[in-house]
Chain A
Amino acid sequence: MATKSFNHPFVDKVQQRGLLAGACGVVLLFIVGFADSQQFFQSYLVSYIYWLVISLGCLGLLMLHHLVSGRWGFVIRRLLESGARTLWLMAVLFIPIALLGMHHLYEWTHADVVAKDPILTFKKPYLNETGFYIRAVVYFALWLLWMFLLTKWSREQDETGEPGLKRRMINLSGPGIPMFILTVTFAATDWVMSLEPHWFSTIYGLIFVIGGALGAMALCILWVIKLKDVEVYREVDAFKYLADLGTLMFAFTCLWAYVSFSQFLITWSGNLAEEAPWYIRRSHGGWQYVGTALIIFHFFLPFFLLLQRAIKRRAALMMVIAFFMLFMRYVDLYYFITPAFVHGGASGLYRYVADVLTFVSIGGLWLGFFAMQLKGVPLMPLHDPRMAETFAGEGH
């Protein structure tokens, strides 16, 4: 069948340029960081969360695919595994936030603020620095453990073809899904929701889970289109699955709208003093246009485009839509995070420079790391026993 590992000029290009952009960005970021550390960490958090959520989305979709199988998943399994393996990088990139950024970002880390604020005093048993560190270690430990075992067994399966590995991956993914949803919910609460520590929303974590799956799916679509010439993809005619991947992206778009709107509707109906300010802040001072743009471009436009099968089968269009969705994911997270920073931070051009620089450096490192992971392995699983079954019946 296929060759052991594959090589494609595009993957090399992404690896080189990504790592280069990352390295240059990091150097420039040091300058930004010294000039205005408040702004630096605000921008850093948005970009970090953006890429972290995509890594997590890859891990979640990987586990989902182990549980439900399906041809779409075999086509993108290596992409998902490589995406999940960037969690190593994301764990390292979390260190600046944990060690240096906390006091710049989170109001509840300041003892004097907490002492004066009865709500924060009440929340102190959860929202305190020690708890924050312990929980962060637990989240990363669990994510890395699941990612490590799943990718390790997948690699072993390629080499030995041992049929029992399939069962092991399924058995790990079963408890993996609840673990994943719970840890992502808690992590989103700790790292993002606690920027506005008075406010709370129970559906918040799910918005991040689904946003991650959406981003990961968009990224996989881009890679499948770019790598369509690779031998194994030609053998199974990976293009045929573009419509399936597009349908999944459509489903996650709808789910995103569902959970985002649910959060809004509950807050709006409740109309309570501790919940409403989150949306009030996001519907004034220009943010109302960003919110409206999200409704139109993060939901209605992709909804009506991806509803049509003719569009989902056209690679050029799908590439534009996938790029666009990745951009809208950024807008969505920016809308979630940035209005929280009512104090401090730079204004005007400087803010955008910091936003772009952090995005490019973390993104460059992410993509470079991703390409590195992808390069060493066969682009499609070699010996998964389920693959033969799924691809044999070319019917339905």
Chain B
Amino acid sequence: MAENLYGLLAEFDGPDELLKAAKDAYADGYRKMDAYSPMPIHDLSESMGYDKHRVPIIVLICALLGASSGFGLQYWVSVIDYPLNVGGRPLLSWPSFIPVTFELGVLFSAFGALIGMLILNGLPRPYHPVFNVPNFERASGDGFFLCIEAEDSKFDISETRAFLESLKAKKVDDVEP
């Protein structure tokens, strides 16, 4: 039974206690963990070592892709496929291509930001073991939880439980997988 646990879920009194517990757990060497709280807490994700942000680079790539495809589309249409003389202007009238280029850059970045964020977060996720803990729905009301996952190399069911209790957790629950 013990080998099959997803992890241990500790409940704390408030945001400050949760932040402190997350910092202590990180300092103690735990890495595979996650915190759950009803509202965003400043510095919480940074305190657990989530300091690499990969969404910006995805957005940048998408923006460049969008902008170049926007410009490329207009170039192909008005210079190669269907050249038209508009008031004697050159076929490659780049100033009038800029708005579409810009808009497609923005559109692709928005898609990149949303979809990239969802993929990196592993969403959508219809099943998550933490919901097996009866009290957990309070994470969207007044509950502050820290879950240390069994995958963590330092995880040991009794030691980790003792450690979480030493952090003044209100309650520590087993999380069924």
Least Cβ–Cβ distance between B71 and chain A, in angstroms: 15
Query: Contact between A265 and B40 (Cβ–Cβ < 8 Å)?
Result: no
Instruction: With CB as the reference atom, state the residue of chain A lying closest to B59.
Output: A307
Closest 8 CB pairs of A and B: A268-B95, A395-B42, A396-B40, A265-B95, A394-B42, A395-B40, A395-B41, A269-B96
**B98 interface residue (CB < 8 Å to A):** yes
What total of A-B pairs shows CB separation below 8 Å? 22
Size class of the A contact interface (CB-based, 8 Å): 10 to 19
Instruction: With CB as the reference atom, state the residue of chain A lying closest to B41.
Output: A395
**A264 interface residue (CB < 8 Å to B):** yes
The answer for the CA separation of A271 and B89 in the assembled complex, in Å, is 10
**A261 interface residue (CB < 8 Å to B):** yes
Least Cβ–Cβ distance between A257 and chain B, in angstroms: 10
The 22 sampled A-B contact pairs (Cβ below 8 Å) are A261-B98, A264-B95, A265-B95, A265-B96, A265-B98, A265-B99, A268-B95, A268-B96, A269-B95, A269-B96, A271-B87, A271-B89, A307-B60, A308-B56, A394-B42, A395-B15, A395-B39, A395-B40, A395-B41, A395-B42, A396-B40, A396-B42
Name the A residues within 8 Å of B41 (CB-CB): 395
Name the A residues within 8 Å of B87 (CB-CB): 271
Query: Among residues 259 to 315 in chain A, which have CB atoms less than 8 Å away from a CB atom of chain B?
Result: 261, 264-265, 268-269, 271, 307-308
Instruction: With CB as the reference atom, state the residue of chain A lying closest to B96.
Output: A269
Instruction: With CB as the reference atom, state the residue of chain A lying closest to B60.
Output: A307
Least Cβ–Cβ distance between B33 and chain A, in angstroms: 21
Least Cβ–Cβ distance between B96 and chain A, in angstroms: 6
Contact with A along B141-156 (1 / 0, CB 8 A): 0000000000000000
Instruction: With CB as the reference atom, state the residue of chain A lying closest to B15.
Output: A395
The answer for the CA separation of A37 and B41 in the assembled complex, in Å, is 62
Contact with B along A379-396 (1 / 0, CB 8 A): 000000000000000111
Name the A residues within 8 Å of B60 (CB-CB): 307
Name the B residues within 8 Å of A261 (CB-CB): 98
The answer for the CA separation of A269 and B86 in the assembled complex, in Å, is 10
Contact with A along B30-64 (1 / 0, CB 8 A): 00000000011110000000000000100010000
The answer for the CA separation of A265 and B93 in the assembled complex, in Å, is 11
The answer for the CA separation of A43 and B165 in the assembled complex, in Å, is 73
Name the B residues within 8 Å of A395 (CB-CB): 15, 39-42
Instruction: With CB as the reference atom, state the residue of chain B lying closest to A269.
Output: B96
Name the B residues within 8 Å of A264 (CB-CB): 95
The answer for the CA separation of A97 and B140 in the assembled complex, in Å, is 64
The answer for the CA separation of A196 and B33 in the assembled complex, in Å, is 66
Least Cβ–Cβ distance between B113 and chain A, in angstroms: 13
A265-B98, A395-B41 known; 14 new pairs, CB 8 Å cut-off, are: A261-B98, A265-B95, A265-B99, A268-B95, A268-B96, A269-B95, A271-B87, A307-B60, A308-B56, A394-B42, A395-B39, A395-B40, A396-B40, A396-B42
